[in-house]
Amino acid sequence: MGAEAIKTNSLEFFLLFFYVQVLHLDPILAGTALLLALVFDGISDPIIGAFSDNYNSKLGRRHPFMYASAIPFGLAFYLLFSPPESFSGMNLFLWLTFFAITLRLMMTFFLLPYYAIGAELTENYEDRTALVAIRNMFSFIAAMILSIVAFTVYFKATDDYPQGQLNPDAYPAFAFTFAIVSIIVIFITTLGTQSQIPFMHKNNSDNEQFTNSFTSFYRYFYKGLLETLKNRSFLSIFLVSITFFILSGLQRALVLHMNTYFWALETSKIQYMFYAFFVSTVLVIPFVKHIINWLDKKRSMYLGLSIILTSFVLPTILRLIGFFPENDSSLLLPFLIVSQITTGFGMAIMVVGMGSIMADIADDQELKTGKRQEGLIFSFIGLASKATSGVGHFLAGLALSLISFPTSENVTANEVPEDVIFNLGLVYGPSVLIFGLACFYFFSYYSITRKSHEKTLETLSQRRLSEKKQ
């Protein structure tokens, strides 16, 4: 999860800002490039997931894909933040598109098998929550380390760049460091789970010739798509993912713009914002298992989503209507830090609950179809999350263009017109709320409970025992 956290947080927080504010690429072109990359990545997810479900090798179904991703991922990460200095306009757009696609594709080769392994390690309803909690705790720790190193080492303020995130020379060095770290983490993670291969599910018996036939592949893929979409709980989570990741993509793509221009924070204060979020998330994750076990997964997700929406939207809306501390107030930073702390609390519940829920859906799907399809199921959620996160990035780029946000070199908050700042807040605040409310509606259709899952496992156990006797 460390490599995925590095990729996600670098792309979500820094990439759009880097290409628009630092390299001066047109916001619509930048948003379009990120949308294309995410749509391509989302489409490739089910394909890679399907191959992973049905692959045969001495290293099992999952690990060959994970090993193969490491070095190409690191190279793509470095090159994405290191375009040639002579590039601008369309050349810069093509560079961004190509390496964003490559980076996300390589991450998919690692991440989908990795998630599928997590669903296979245990079938226990509560143990899965604990496993996902541990996995996500390391992910948030990695993201926190990335933020600390980024702002204290690479994006620190200088005489030429008081806001260090505007320094173009900082990004290639930042990318090189974390490209190397990512390669190492991928190899360590893959090697660390290799001992579990003998205990994992084998590939689906009716698809033994799968990898040798494109006809078999597409038959399996489209049949699997139809089967999973008939599962009401899966469809619910699929639609929740679509709406939540549009929300998340829009929010993350604009967070540096908000902190730099709307709140007019210095680089050191932006650091505190990131630290507050990641530290609170890491500290809460060990307790999330108990929260979810107490409330059950569905009610826990409602709680997490409510906290996230309130924390995202409330400060911005209050500022827009004149009921929040001004940028020169000593109360501004403490209020924003509290908002980040509560966001981290809600996000911890959401990410742990979502990962655990997907593993339960895999069991429910096996009950209905007789097939283990963890890779395919996780890939469809990946398709929704990545493609729609791309929509969020595209909307962010489009919004910056529509409100005529300046992209001139080293522009400061005082140089941005007040009406543009106000419109930036409108995009970041109220618009996010619309997608959040849609999440609540779609999640109401999720129907798996602790009791129904226990019954599913009992039926599957009896079925497997019967198959062994035959």
Whole-angstrom distance, CA of residue 427 vs CA of residue 423: 6
Neighbour tally for 205: CB within 10 Å: 9
pLDDT of 209 reads 47
The structure tokens listed for 159 are 């005489």
Whole-angstrom distance, CA of residue 56 vs CA of residue 283: 40
**Domain total in the chain:** 1
Question: Residue 257 corresponds to which amino acid?
Answer: H
Whole-angstrom distance, CA of residue 177 vs CA of residue 173: 6
The structure tokens listed for 230 are 């008939």
Confidence (pTM): 0.68
Of 282, 297, 6, which is closest to residue 143 (Cα–Cα)? 6
Of 58, 140, 68, 64, which is closest to residue 106 (Cα–Cα)? 68
The structure tokens listed for 374 are 């963890």
Residue 117 maps to a domain: yes
Residue 430 maps to a domain: yes
Q: Spell out the per-residue pLDDT of the chain, length 470, in tens.
A: 545 556 666 666 678 888 988 888 998 898 889 888 877 877 777 777 777 766 776 776 777 888 888 899 999 999 999 999 888 889 999 999 999 999 988 888 887 777 777 666 666 656 656 676 677 677 777 777 877 888 888 888 787 887 788 888 889 998 999 899 889 988 888 887 777 666 555 555 444 444 455 566 666 666 777 777 788 888 898 888 888 888 887 887 888 889 989 999 887 888 888 888 888 888 888 888 888 888 888 899 999 999 999 998 899 999 999 999 999 999 999 999 999 999 989 988 988 888 778 878 888 888 887 777 766 777 777 666 666 666 777 888 888 888 988 876 667 788 889 999 999 999 888 777 888 899 999 999 998 888 888 888 888 888 877 766 66
Residue 317 maps to a domain: yes
Write the CATH number for 162.
Answer: 1.20.1250.20
CB 178 within 8 A of CB 77: yes
Q: pLDDT by residue (tens digit) across 178-193?
A: 899 889 988 888 887 7
In 271-280, which positions are buried (b, 16+ CB within 10 angstroms) versus exposed (e)? bbbbbbbbbb
CB 343 within 8 A of CB 308: yes
Q: Please give the residue range of the domain that contains residue 165.
A: 2-194+259-469
Residue 251 maps to a domain: no
Whole-angstrom distance, CA of residue 210 vs CA of residue 207: 5
Whole-angstrom distance, CA of residue 383 vs CA of residue 440: 20
Residue 14 maps to a domain: yes
Residue 463 maps to a domain: yes
CB 447 within 8 A of CB 233: yes
Residues, the chain: 470
Q: Which residues contact 381 (CB under 8 A, 6 or more apart)?
A: 237, 238, 241, 358
